[in-house]
Amino acid sequence: MKKSRSWLFVALLFFSLIFVFPNFRSFFSDSFVFIKLFLAKPDSVGAIVPSSRFLANAVTKHINIFGEPVRILEVGAGTGSMTVNILKKLRTQDKLDIVELDSDFCEILNEKFGKRKNVKINCVSILDWKPKYLYDYIISGLPFNAFSADFLKQVLKTYEGLIKPGGIISYFEYIALAKVKLFFLTGEKKNQYSKTITTTNDFVNKFEFDQDKVLANIPPACVHHLSIK
């Protein structure tokens, strides 16, 4: 009886993962890369598995393309789970710039999207990205809460300088993760982490116009949409 229940649990887990991650082979292939890099660089890789299609849909939902050509910037694309959604909306006259610092992720992104004429993949820090134009949309996959407050302020200031007036910045964070981490920190580390959270919250409170909760993700996430005016 216990054995049959165990098999039932495995089957339910299997079909749940298929529902959340329909491209099963790609998910596990990308997950292996995420886990390897997360263990090697926990401070710079903010996720242990790729984002689900539900999270990708929520993050990219405000990309509405019509009329004049648009420019989109994706920062911290990882293995490209958000990129796929962006490309579904992109027309031939539109442009997508991807800025990804990690060389392993850049290699994967080049394999997947490098042949597309309207996609440019740049293996560089967002702080060193200096285009001669502004963007209609910025999709950010950077783990804000993994940064120091001073570095995060530079990132957010860079975003403000790269977005067109009225442009939209969308990013996500894992639900309750910041509070859980803060609970276990002590001393100066807790003070520094509190400053990071405050920096993020101040930015969100100033510009946010919409948010979504996405439970069908590992772990569940909250998506923030900001309009920079």
Q: How confident is the model at residue 181 (pLDDT cuts 50, 70, 90)?
A: confident
Q: Which of 42-46, 126-130, 197-201 has the lowest mean pLDDT?
A: 42-46
Say if CB 98 and CB 82 are below 8 A apart: no
Count of H-run helices and E-run strands, the chain: 8, 7
- Give me the residues paired with residue 222 across strands: 173, 213
Across residues 53-63, what is the average pLDDT? 95
Residue 19 lies in a domain: no
| Position 142 in a domain | yes
Q: What mean pLDDT is predicted for residues 31-54?
A: 57
Q: Quick check: is 208 in a domain?
A: yes
Whether 35 shows a pLDDT value over 90: the answer reads: no
Q: What does the alpha-carbon distance between residue 35 and residue 140 come to, in Å, rounded to a whole number?
A: 20
Assigned domain for 7 exists: no
Averaged pLDDT, 149-166: 98
For the whole model, what pTM was predicted?
Answer: 0.81
Q: What is the pLDDT of residue 47?
A: 54
Supply the range of the domain harboring residue 203.
46-228
Whether 224 is covered by a domain: the verdict is: yes
Give how many domains the chain has, as a whole number.
1
Answer yes or no: is 115 within a domain: yes
Give domain status of residue 221, yes or no. Answer: yes
Closest Cα to residue 141, out of 38, 56, 29?
A: 56
The CATH code of the domain that includes 165 is: 3.40.50.150
Cα→Cα distances 31→3, 4, 13, 76, 191, Å: 28, 28, 16, 16, 32
Per-residue pLDDT at 25: 47
Q: Is the pLDDT of residue 78 over 80?
A: yes
Mean pLDDT of the chain, nearest integer: 85
